[in-house]
Amino acid sequence: MANFNASQFNAQIRAAQRRAEQQLRREIDRVNRANQRAVNEYNRQVDAHNKREIDRVNRANPKAVDDYNRQVAAANRKADAHNKRVIDDLNKRLQQGSTTVRYTEPERRLAERVHDAVAHLDPREYDTFLSYARLDGEEIAIQLRDALEARRVAVWFDHVAIQPGRSQALQMDQGLRKARSGIALLTPAYLAGRFWTERELGALLGKSTLIPVLHQVTFDDVKEYSGILPDLAGFTTANDTVEEIAEKIAAAVLVTES
């Protein structure tokens, strides 16, 4: 029997994971685009129909205009809510389905041993680690992560990287080690000081690049929280959009390959 090569096995696992993530991202993008086209076409048809009906009702019975407009507005709200639920549910099922891997018990034990053995190799597969407070920063963090990924920035983000059934603290520590840089999304809850964010920020301060992004806080607020962070070049959503911030961060953290 040939000797088991842990390094080769781990490389195969990482390659398979990267291919799966790329395939998932392409599939989600395809579905989102298809759904958006369908929604846009539906809205165009509804708008055209509404205009025809409004013109007809106006000509036939001006007194019925107000009542009809209320009905149209209610129908549009209902359609928009339905479309959003369908898209969100499809995205959720795609993400969950892509990470469902079933192992036999011997395979699971082998994968666990290999995972633990190579965890210390620190392959640094991520361009940056995104630290945020879920209480008030989750929505903007997801937007920033998506904008960065669209610019080919590999982001360690707990929604995607944390695997159920394994130590969250261990996985987070590995992510902090693998990331070459850090982003601290500073919000009121972040500045209030919480265990996880303080732990992440303590590790990120040791990175050569740490970029603060302020959301619903000012630089004066940050100065009261930390005397170090205000000295770092950063951005605020009060001045720039998420897309603009992502563009600037991508230019700072991406490694140019020669």
Q: What is the pLDDT of residue 68?
A: 63
Structure tokens at 46: 């509804």
Beta-strand runs (E) in 215-252: 235-236
Q: What is the pLDDT of residue 183?
A: 95
For the chain, the structural domain boundaries read 6-98, 123-253
Q: What is the mean pLDDT of each run of 10 residues along the chain (258 residues)?
A: 64 74 77 77 79 72 64 68 61 48 60 51 72 92 95 85 62 84 93 83 89 92 78 88 95 68
Topology of domain 123-253, CATH: Rossmann fold (3.40.50)
Q: In what order do the strands lie in the sheet with 126-131?
A: 155-156, 126-131, 179-186, 210-214, 235-236
Q: What is the pLDDT of residue 221?
A: 86
AA identity, residue 146 = D
Note the pTM of the prediction, 2 decimals. Answer: 0.51
